[in-house]
Structures are given as C-alpha cells and as structure tokens.
Structure 1
Amino acid sequence: MQYRRLGRSGLKVSALSFGSWVTYSNQLDTKLARECMAAARDAGVNFFDNAEVYANGESERIMGQALRELGWSREQYIVSSKFFWGIHEGPNLKNTLNRKYLLAAVDGSLKRFGLEYLDLIFCHRPDPETPIEETVWAMHDLINRGKALYWGTSEWSAEEIRAAWQIAERHHLHKPVMEQPQYNLFARKRVEQEYRRLYEDLGLGLTTWSPLASGMLTGKYLDGIPAGTRGTLPGYEWLQERLNDEAKKRAVKKLLPIAQELEVTLAQLSLAWCLRNPHVSTVITGASRSAQVLENMKALEVLPRLTDEIAARMNEACSEIAG
C-alpha cells in the first residue's frame, strides 16, 4: 500500500480507501461489512469513508459495530463522515450547514459510530442559504472541542472553497484541508481544471469518490443491468439511465483492449488511472464482498505500468463524454 499526505496536512491516508456508500445496509450487513473492512485493512487500507445520510444513518451504525468487533486500536484507522442532507425532518435538520445542525449532526454521528471523535468531517454539499463564515466557525469549533481532527468539503466549487479558506485564514481558524469530489475517466473537469490553482495555493487534498462511475467502468453493464447490482436497488432507480448511457458504453468498449493488453480488469485499470493523479490523496473504493476488495487493491500493481502513452490512449477512448 502507498500512503499519501492529505493535502498539505501531516495526516497520511492509504492511496486506496474503503467507503460505504450504496453498499452498507443495502447490500452489506454487519458481518459482510466486517469481512470487507478486514480484507481492506489487511491490504493496508487505513481510511474508511462514511456519511450521515448513507442508509439514513444505518451505514454509520454498521461501520461502528464492525469496528468494535474487529477490535482495532483507534490510532490504526481513519474514519470520516459527511454532513448536509440530514436524516430528520425540520427546518434546521435537513439541507443546511448552519451551526445548530452541524453541532447536533456530528454528535449524532459519533453516537451511531460509538466513537469519541471522527478523523475527518466534510460539508457534504455547499449551502447557499447559510453564510460560509458561520459554517467555517462551526467546523472550527467542532475540531476545538475534540469532535474531529480535520475538516473539508465535498462537491464545493473552487470559489466556495477559497472563500472558506480565506475566512479561516483571516480569523486564525482551522482551515478546510480536503475536498471530496467525484473523479473518474468520465468526470474530470472539476479535479483537473477548476481546482488546479487550489492544490498549490491552499494545499488542498482530495479524497475522490466514484472512481468506477457507479460501476460503469467495470464493464459489467455493457449488456444491461444484471440482477443484484446497485442499478436494481430500491431508491437507486436514478442510476439506471446513467448505466444505460450508450456513449459511455462505447467508451468502455474502447478501454477493453487496453485492459486486455495489460492483463488486468477494467476496474483495476480505471482505479490506477485515478491514482496516477498526484493531487489525489486517496481513491475511495466500494465493494459488496471481500474478494472484490482484494481485486480492487491490485490496482496499485497496475499503477507503475500506466505509462504516459497508455494514459493518453485511455483519455482518448473517453474523450467523447469526459466532462
């Protein structure tokens, strides 16, 4: 396993990490979650990603129970959660980053996890109705109170991230350290263009999600949506249109010969492509069984074989739909 600094912070995260979106509660119970997390840890993974809204809080409960059963010392692993959407009804309980919500939401998350603190907390989306200064102060206070160690954002614009950082700088507050954007062969503009200045100017680190474009880059959806995959899960009907996108299917078919040439899977090839970006601190992977975790980890073996020429061929294969 490689370990990379989280932006300009001193925290080191495994280049490949393990996340719970979609799978926990929907596809994994505590036993399967524990098995997948154990396989990831055995491979060197030290970062486990979660969010308050995943499975309406159940994802945090499952991960917390799995951590207790695994019995790892708290210093050995990094856990995150994200806040914005909320899991309760009410004017200050959903779709907000105001101070009242954030302080209560983090306490609720800690209770579900059964942890004393979270390593990373993210503002899951920007909130146009709450002043950024209020959110920055709330995140600073959460760190000062020992509820979290670092804070960051997810899917914020470069302008919003810079504004938050400058407020923190001006008032000598804890600054946002990381951003969690989508990043894969189909979704690249934000990471490669919009954030370009932030890496050097602010020392921004990235914990990227959906490296396989919801499974599209595995090739398993080329002939339709197989039973038992995330495309058939209740509540994820919105994915079906994306998974049936003909332009993306054409791109995946162009990637197949490259994977075959290297004798690797499409998933491993696509993960290695994400890892190749030096600004990516960690690539969040997902799995519904331990064997899949181990297959994903082999992307690290592909990385040194991903030459400029091969990467250029991959970029060209996806040029029709890369955004």
Structure 2
Amino acid sequence: MEERHVGRSGLLVSRLGLGTMTWGEDTGPGEAAAQLRAFADAGGTLVDTADVYCDGDSERILGHLLRELVDRDGLVVATKAAIRPNGRYDASRRHLIGALDASLDRLGLEHVDLWQVHVYDPATPLEETLSALDEAVASGRTRYVGVSNYAGWQVAKAAAWQRAWPGRAPIVSVQVEYSLLSRDVEREVVPAALDAGAGLLPWSPLGRGVLTGKYRTGIPAGSRAANDHFAEFVQPYLDEECGRIVESVVTAAEGLGVSPLAVALAWVRDRPGVAAPVVGARTAAQLAQALGSEDLTLPREIRRALDDVSDMAPPHP
C-alpha cells in the first residue's frame, strides 16, 4: 500500500487507515484480529482508536493484538482523548494527561505514534489543552499530536499557537468527517489544515456507509441503519439529495467495473491535503472491499462529474 506523509511532518502512514470504533461491541475480538491481519498483510500501517470507543475495549483489543498478532513497530498507532465516559467534553490538562496514561495502559504501550484531541472543549482555554500535547511529546508518551473535529478557526488558532514559540509540538493532523456526502469541511477546515501544514484524516469517508449503495432500496438487516446504536447516525444521509449523489457514484462504478465503495473511497483519498481516510469496517469482509480500492485512480472526467453532483451551495456572503 502506498504511504504518504501526514501534512508537512515526517510521519509516514498508509494512505488508508483502519478505524476501530466498533471493536468491542459490534466487532468482536476474533473479527478484529481478522481485520488487523488483513490490513497489515496489505501494507496498511495507520490504526486509529480512541479512549471512549466501546468504553475502552477498542484499545484493550488492539493492545492484545499488538502483542499477540502483528509487529507493533510496523504500525502507526493513533488514539484520541477529550470526551469523558458520560459524553462531557473535557480537554483540560488534568483530564488529557490522565486519559493518555490510561490509554497507554490499555494498549500495553510506552508510547503511541499519534495522539489527537478528540473534540474542541470551549470550557477549557486552548493554551491549556495544547500544553498537554507539549507535555505528551516531551515526556515520550507520543511522537506526534493533532486535533479532531475542530472548526476551521480552531485549527488555525491551535496551529498558530504551537508555531509561535520554539519547542512546542506542532499540530500535524486534523481528523474530521469528510466524504462526497459531507464536503462542508472544504469551506474552512481544509484550507486551515493546508495552511497549517496538517494532514487530513477523514472519518466516515464512505458517508456513514451510505456511499456503498447498500441503502438504495431500503435498510438491509444487519446494516448500521438497522442498528439501535447507529440508526440516528446514518439517517441524515438517507435523504433525496444524498440519494442523487449515491446514484452518481453507482453509475461511475458500473462504468469502471468496480464497486461504489471503491469509487467513493478513491475520491476522498485523493482530495487535496488528505493523508489517509480512516475506514471503520464491521467485518473483515467489508474491510477487504476497502483494501481492494488501493489500485483505483479515478479518471479526471469521473472525478469532475462527482465534484459537480456533490458540490455545495456557494457560501453567503
């Protein structure tokens, strides 16, 4: 699998990341092992988790697999913190450092490769949040730091603060939802990340699964939209406007002789600033479809057509 630098940093990752949000709930240890083995065998390196995924079970399962199944040194392990188990945002220095230590314990690691602030916390001064990132790097707990789900101005402010004084840890990544069904980040987040030299790590690059085409004729049993945990998560992308985009993806896929999943993933993977889309598959079979998109590069005409059909209304003013 091809590798890319994350932004203007020296961190190299595979241009497809493995998401583990369902590990420990919808994806059991055996299926998680099959996913990680297939991903590593395909040359994948970036594995993304977070302290709140499945109440920490995602990190526990990943930690076990790093010890028993794959070579940890061959992977780029990324995790996140700033959300308490009760859903409250907390990016205070106290919470973040404690959360990172707990993540390392669950993972069974002395350090992670990338540690990201999961959400922006308006109740905590940004400089306090960023001081925790500095401490994490200085103490060797992580090699690189980034942010997740930040607005454009928040990315710009954080990146500028870190560049303002020598020795601060630069923001190298911005993890954010980005797909053909969710392009609003192109207004401000993407330009801010590009200006800051931070690489984009899109989550839900398949439009919460909708861009696979599985919902064209209804909600199939066993899908996320049929799952109590994820139904509300998927529902916003089942409207008529999103349906038109999905049909365009399906038409492109039929013309190329590939799956809609491959078309949608290749589109976001090759957008400006993107280092690696993070795909969270429920099963190893689903992950295999994503891995099969590695060799696909969309023809310019198809890319332009998808750009047009998914284009956003111009901003006002």
TM-score (norm 1): 0.91
Query: Alignment partner for residue 313 of structure 1, among 291, 300, 305?
Result: 305
What does residue 162 of structure 2 align with? 168
Mean CA deviation greater in 127-136 or 23-32: 23-32
Query: 1:219 is matched with which residue?
Result: 213
Gaps of 5+ in 1: none
In the TM superposition, residue 59 of structure 1 has moved relative to its aligned partner by 1.1
Q: Which residue of 2 aligns with 1:78?
A: 76
Hey, what's the Cα distance between the residues in 2 that align with 1:297 and 1:59? 21
CA contact (8 A) 1:43 1:294 kept: no
- SS in structure 2 of the partner of residue 171 of structure 1: coil
- Structure-1 residue corresponding to 2:10: 10
Unaligned stretches of 5+ residues in structure 2:
none
| Cα distance between partner residues in 1 of 2:313 and 2:288 | 30
Q: Which moved more, 1:104-113 or 1:229-238?
A: 229-238
Alpha carbon RMSD of aligned pairs, Å?
A: 2.0
Letter in 1 for 2:171: P
How far 1:197 sits from its partner (Å)? Answer: 4.0
Shift of 1:288: 2.3
Task: Give the superposition deviation at 1:189.
Answer: 2.8
Residue of structure 2 equivalent to 1:204: 198
Structure 2 partner of 1:159: 153
Please give the alpha-carbon distance, in whole angstroms, between the structure 1 residues aligned to 2:28 and 2:193: 38
- Superposed CA deviations along residues 9-64 of structure 1, whole A, max 9, x for unmatched, are 1110000111012x212221111101101001111100100011111211111111
Partners of 1:168 and 1:203 lie apart in 2 by 12
Larger deviation: 237-246 or 262-271? 237-246
TM-score (norm 2): 0.93
Matches within 5 A, 1:62-141: 62-72=61-71, 74-87=72-85, 94-141=88-135
Query: Post-superposition shift, 1:244?
Result: 3.1
Q: 1:77 to 1:245 in 2, by over 3 A?
A: same
State the Cα distance separating 1:321 from its structure 2 match.
8.4
The answer to whether the 8 A contact 2:80-2:117 is kept is yes
Matching residue of 2:284: 290
Partner of 2:180: 185
2:296 to 288, 296, 302: 302
Say if 1:216 and 1:263 are closer, same or farther in 2 by CA, change over 3 A: same
Which moves more between the two structures, 271-280 or 36-45?
Answer: 271-280
- Opposite residue 7 of structure 1, the aligned amino acid is G
Q: Which amino acid aligns with 2:11?
A: L
Aligned partner of residue 102 in structure 2, secondary structure = helix
CA gap 1:320/1:12 in 2 versus in 1, 3 angstroms: closer
Shift of 1:195: 3.4
Number of aligned residue pairs: give it: 314
Which of 134, 142, 149 lines up with 2:136 in the alignment? 142
Q: Hey, what's the Cα distance between the residues in 2 that align with 1:317 and 1:238?
A: 25
Distance change (3 Å), C-alpha of 1:290 and 1:187: same
Distance, in Å, in 2 between the alignment partners of 1:183 and 1:17 is 14
Worse overlay, 181-190 or 310-319: 310-319
Aligned to 2:43: 44
Q: CA deviation at 1:316?
A: 2.6
Once superposed, which parts of structure 1, at least 4 consecutive aligned residues long, lie more than 6 Å away? 320-323
CA distance in 2, matches of 1:137, 1:102: 10
Q: Secondary structure at the match of 1:163?
A: helix
Distance 1:144 1:296, change over 3 A: same
CA pair 313-219 structure 1, distance change in 2 beyond 3 A: same
1:277 corresponds in structure 2 to 271
CA contact under 8 A between 2:155 and 2:193: conserved in structure 1?
no
Aligned-partner Cα distance in 1 for 2:279–2:191: 26
| Rounded Cα–Cα distance in structure 1 between residues aligned with 2:260 and 2:314 | 17
1:26 aligns with 2:25: yes
The Cα shift of 1:69 comes to 1.8
- 1:31·1:66 contact (CA, 8 Å) conserved in 2? no
Tell me how far apart the structure 2 counterparts of residues 313 and 71 of structure 1 sit (CA, whole Å): 41
